[in-house]
Amino acid sequence: MNPVKIDLRESLLELVRRASTQLPDDVTRSLHEGLLHERVGDAAASALKIVLENVALAAEQNTPICQDTGTPIFVIHHPFGYSQRAIAADVEWAVITATEHSYLRPNAVDSVTGKNSGNNIGSGLPSLHFHEWEQEEIRIDLLLKGGGSENVGGQYALPSAPLSAGRDLEGVRRVVLDAVFKAQGKGCGPGIIGVGIGGDRPHSAWVAKEQLFRLLGDVNEDSELAELEQQLLAEGNRLGIGPMGFGGATTLLGVKVGAAHRLPASYFVSIAYLCWAARRASLTFNNGEVTFA
């Protein structure tokens, strides 16, 4: 059977434009809430005010929220019958065109030669993840994941004697708090923390990264993990690191935890740190009609 023919190029370009210039509502709302918890006149309050002013200005002017437009991560859900290669080609076209329009900064550097490809295309870039699903529509989720915040993420192998972290959720709690402490303000906090428990090393890291696509308000289906998320969010904010590391109440906007099966021999915990510029957007293609969210 031949794959269904579709052209998603212009829709994907619009998806990239939205992600780069419009911060999702749940993140903007959470930044506003953070501001209410900071003392008037403090550096933390002024940082959040400037962040919010910048968010409004970027949307109004149609300019990038941040000049580092990061790694474009696309998660593509599609029903049976579509060509992944054709969709990937449309994504590449959209990324190249978005770079020409300055919605994306050229960010793909050859690790061996040091040369920037100039159009955001390279080995592993853009980052594409395909899933075939039962539903009839195609849904494409995009996250622009900044580099400064990526640098403060990490991975722990439990048990960890120095952190008194065993192979259980209490151990997970200890290493996540350690990672938030070590990041200080360097990842352009307030941050959103994705946690991946289990898997081998790369799968663990991916589970952590996947959590960053979740809305801040969604509740984990696993009640134990839901509880851990709430606890870590509250405890992370008690550290006092604050926006940009200036000190204050708003260190984190959210903590999202996912778990995968592991080998008896391994217990990995991965932490993905997402800066306040949490640029996600998604599109749905159904019966030839495209909607954005």
Partner 1 sequence: MHNLTLPISEEQIRQLRVGDTVSLTGTIYTARDAAHKYMVENFIQGEPPATEREMLAELEQGLSGGVIYHCGPIVRKDESGKWHFVAAGPTTSIREEPYEYQVIERFGVRAVIGKGGMADKTLQACGDHGAVYLHAIGGAASLIARSVVEVIGLFKEEFGLPEAFWKIRVEDFQCVVTMDSHGGSLHKEVEALSERNLQEILK
Residue ranges that bind partner 1, judged by CB under 8 A: 42-43, 46-47, 50-51, 53-54, 57-58, 61, 63-68, 102, 105, 146, 148, 164, 174, 177-178, 181, 184-186, 188, 235, 238-242, 244-247, 275-277
The residue (of 42 and 137) whose beta carbon lies closer to partner 1 is 42
Q: Could you say which of ligand SF4, partner 1, none residue 186 binds, taking C-beta under 5 to 8 angstroms by partner kind?
A: partner 1
By beta-carbon proximity to ligand SF4, the closer residue of 137 and 150 is 150
Residue 131 and residue 3: Cα distance in Å, rounded? 16
Residues linked to residue 75 through DSSP beta bridges, in sequence order: 129, 141
Tokens matching residue 239: 């550290």
Sheet holding 252-259, edge to edge: 154-157, 268-274, 191-197, 252-259
By CB under 6 A, residue 70 contacts ligand SF4: yes
Between residues 189 and 236, which has the closer beta carbon with respect to ligand SF4?
A: 189
Residue 186: CB minimum distance to ligand SF4, A: 8
211 is in the binding site of which of ligand SF4, partner 1, none (Cβ under 5 to 8 A by kind)?
Answer: none
Query: Which partner in partner 1, ligand SF4, none is near 26 (CB below 5 to 8 A by kind)?
Result: none
Q: How far is the CB of 38 from ligand SF4 (least distance, A)?
A: 18
Q: Choosing among partner 1, ligand SF4, none, which partner's interface includes residue 42 (Cβ < 5 to 8 Å by kind)?
A: partner 1
68 binds ligand SF4 per the rule CB under 6 A: yes
Choices 28-36, 66-74, 177-185, 213-221 (CB under 6 A): range interacting with ligand SF4: 66-74
Per rule CB under 6 A, is residue 66 in the interface with ligand SF4?
Answer: yes
* Residue 94: CB minimum distance to partner 1, A: 19
Q: Which listed option, partner 1, ligand SF4, none, makes contact with residue 70 (CB within 5 to 8 Å by class)?
A: ligand SF4
- Residues in the site for ligand SF4, rule: CB under 6 A? 66, 68, 70, 146-149, 187-188, 275, 277
